Amino acid sequence: MAMIEIRPEVEKNKTAMVDAMIKQELANMMILAKQKPKKGKKKKGKKKKGKKKGSKNKLPGFKYIKDRDTYDLLVELIQN
C-alpha cells in the first residue's frame, strides 16, 4: 500500500534527475562540437639546399616545340 502511494513521487523525481543529466550532457556535447581541434606541435624539418634551375616548362613534347614561334603553333592548332 505504501509502495503504491510513494511510487509516483519517486518516478517524478527520477525523471527530473534524468532530464537534468541529459540536458547537461547535451550542453557538454554542444561545447565540444564548437571547439576547434587542437593542433599538434610542428616538427622541425631539415634545411633545404637551394634549388637547381630546371627547364621552364615540364610538359610532354615541350622539347619539340620550344624553338617554334607561338604564332606558328597557333596556326597549326587551328588547321588541325
With cut-offs at 50, 70 and 90, classify the pLDDT of residue 9.
very high
Global pTM reads: 0.40
> Is residue 26 within 8 Å of residue 32, measured between CB atoms?
no
For 54-79, write each residue's pLDDT tens digit. Answer: 656 677 878 888 888 889 888 888 88
Indicate the length of the chain as a whole number: 80
For 16-62, write each residue's pLDDT tens digit. Answer: 999 999 999 998 888 888 876 566 677 777 777 766 666 566 778 78
Residue type, 36: K
Break the chain into its structural domains and give their ranges: 2-36+56-79
Which helix (H) or strand (E) segment holds residue 27: the answer is helix 2-34
- Quote the pLDDT of residue 61: 79
